[in-house]
């Protein structure tokens, strides 16, 4: 089978490294371009990252000799030589938005990890097992951009990927209000304990921009396509508090959910266990076999034990308790740089290829 040629923008960073690791030996994709800032451009990939390689597996051997391109300056050359790019660049929002549009306008699809384009109504923000139908908005986006092949598709914020999959199957119970506390790993800030010593023995009760994203992005995912845009759902009301905690990888959420109707614990567990995954039949290479796993044990899910469920693509849920006749609380965990970042984006790219958008 002919493989799709891939470029990774931001390939030297933490999420970029995760992309390269996940794409090594991928059955459909092969990385042929790596790009980063002017600081790294023109240099051999291995030379630039060997002293800052953060993954537990070695640098993929086929990527080591690649010469790094300048992601901002060489966008035409990169766009022309690949089938699509993954974007994991760390730039101010406006610059990221312009950069991603410039690739799309060069007829190069962009699968982005960044938040810059998530608020644009004709840019689909996809959690593949939840709202795969939102990719149909791409035709409207292409009209706006004046492209025949180029577009932008994004994955949502890393932290909401642990609780949105658990909330979505419960919408039919009349979900009215959700309160969430997230306990987020330091890799979510591109950090390690070595580069973030102030987090050791500490909890920091603020992550810039995170609470707003946690409250608004789920509503876009729960939304519908109406004419040429995705219109966010009006409910549930979501209130979030986000903490940075001394954990290397894996985000945890404590969730309180209130419903219009009475709910029973077993009905909720049934909804999770019998969730009909709309992309299951596509058998995408990165899709987990078990998307949502409910743990009965009182001490699960634990980030250390459960973040790597299904190679980091599974969502773990547990500690479900009924609070009152119409409210419950539970805990959920997911891997922030796999499901929450690069892995979620690779799965999205697979969906777009399988559905003929790339």
> Residue 267: is it exposed, middle or buried by C-beta count within 10 angstroms (0-12/13-18/19+)?
exposed
Shortest distance, position 158 Cβ to ligand NAP, whole Å: 4
Give the span between the Cα atoms of 21 and 34, in whole angstroms.
Answer: 13
Cβ closest to ligand NAP, residue 113 vs residue 131: 113
DSSP 321: E
Rg (CA), the chain: 20
The owner of tokens 């777009």 is: 352
Catalytic residues: 158, 251
Q: Does 326 bind ligand NAP (CB under 6 A)?
A: no
Q: Does 39 bind ligand NAP (CB under 6 A)?
A: yes
Q: Does 89 bind ligand NAP (CB under 6 A)?
A: yes
Shortest distance, position 86 Cβ to ligand NAP, whole Å: 10
Provide the token pair at 168. 């979505």
Pair 292, 272: CB distance under 8 Å: yes
Provide the token pair at 226. 């109406």
Residue 310: φ, ψ to 5°: 55, 50
Cβ closest to ligand NAP, residue 328 vs residue 341: 341
Q: From the list 187, 277, 332, 334, which residue makes contact with ligand NAP (rule: CB under 6 A)?
A: 187
| Antiparallel, parallel or unpaired: β 315-324 and 84-87 | unpaired
Cβ closest to ligand NAP, residue 169 vs residue 250: 250
| Antiparallel, parallel or unpaired: β 237-244 and 315-324 | unpaired
Shortest distance, position 47 Cβ to ligand NAP, whole Å: 12
- Considering only residues 103-122, where is the footprint of ligand NAP by CB under 6 A? 113-114
- Considering only residues 244-303, where is the footprint of ligand NAP by CB under 6 A? none
Pair 248, 183: CB distance under 8 Å: no
Cβ closest to ligand NAP, residue 186 vs residue 328: 186
The owner of tokens 């790597």 is: 308
Cβ closest to ligand NAP, residue 48 vs residue 257: 48
Provide the token pair at 342. 């690069």
Largest CA distance in the chain: 62
Shortest distance, position 116 Cβ to ligand NAP, whole Å: 8
With CB under 6 A as the rule, give the number of residues binding ligand NAP.
27
Give the span between the Cα atoms of 248 and 70, in whole angstroms.
Answer: 30
Which stretch, 14-22, 56-64, 143-151, 291-299, contacts ligand NAP (CB under 6 A)?
A: 14-22
Cβ closest to ligand NAP, residue 16 vs residue 223: 16
Give the closest residue to 162 by CA, choosing from 342, 341, 336, 345: 336
Shortest distance, position 93 Cβ to ligand NAP, whole Å: 9
Which stretch, 9-17, 199-207, 219-227, 236-244, contacts ligand NAP (CB under 6 A)?
A: 9-17
| Chain residues in the site for ligand NAP (CB under 6 A) | 10-16, 36-37, 39-40, 71-72, 88-91, 113-114, 158, 187-188, 190, 336-337, 340-341
């Amino acid at each position: 089978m002919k493989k799709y040629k891939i470029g990774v923008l931001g390939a030297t960073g933490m999420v970029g490294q995760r992309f390269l690791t996940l794409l090594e030996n991928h059955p459909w994709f092969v990385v042929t371009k790596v790009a980063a800032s002017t600081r790294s451009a023109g240099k051999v990939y291995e030379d630039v990252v060997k002293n800052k390689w953060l993954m537990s597996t070695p640098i993929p051997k086929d990527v080591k000799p690649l010469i790094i391109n300048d992601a901002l300056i060489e966008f035409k050359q990169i766009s022309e030589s690949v089938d699509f790019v993954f974007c994991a660049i760390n730039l101010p929002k406006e610059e990221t938005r312009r950069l991603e549009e410039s690739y799309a306008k060069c007829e190069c699809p962009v699968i982005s990890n960044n938040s810059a384009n998530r608020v644009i109504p004709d840019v689909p923000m996809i959690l593949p097992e939840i709202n795969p139908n939102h990719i149909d908005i791409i035709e409207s986006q292409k009209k706006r951009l004046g492209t025949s092949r180029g577009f932008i598709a994004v994955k949502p914020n890393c932290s909401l990927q642990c609780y949105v999959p658990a909330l979505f199957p419960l919408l039919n119970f009349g979900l009215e209000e959700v309160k969430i506390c997230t306990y987020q790993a330091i890799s979510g800030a591109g950090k390690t304990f070595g580069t973030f010593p102030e987090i050791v023995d500490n909890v920091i009760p603020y992550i810039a921009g995170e609470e707003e994203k946690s409250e608004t992005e789920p509503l876009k995912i729960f939304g519908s396509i109406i004419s040429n845009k995705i219109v966010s759902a009006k409910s549930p009301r979501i209130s979030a508090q986000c903490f940075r905690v001394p954990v290397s990888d894996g985000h945890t959420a404590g969730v309180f959910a209130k419903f219009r109707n009475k709910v029973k614990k077993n009905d909720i567990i049934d909804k999770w266990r019998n969730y009909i995954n709309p992309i299951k039949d596509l058998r995408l290479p990165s899709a987990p076999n078990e998307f949502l796993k409910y743990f009965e044990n009182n001490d699960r899910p634990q980030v250390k034990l459960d973040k790597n469920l299904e190679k980091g693509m599974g969502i773990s849920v547990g500690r479900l308790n009924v609070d009152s006749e119409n409210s419950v609380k539970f805990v959920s965990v997911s891997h922030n740089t796999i499901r929450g970042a690069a892995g979620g984006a690779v799965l999205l790219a697979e969906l777009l290829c399988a559905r003929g958008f790339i």
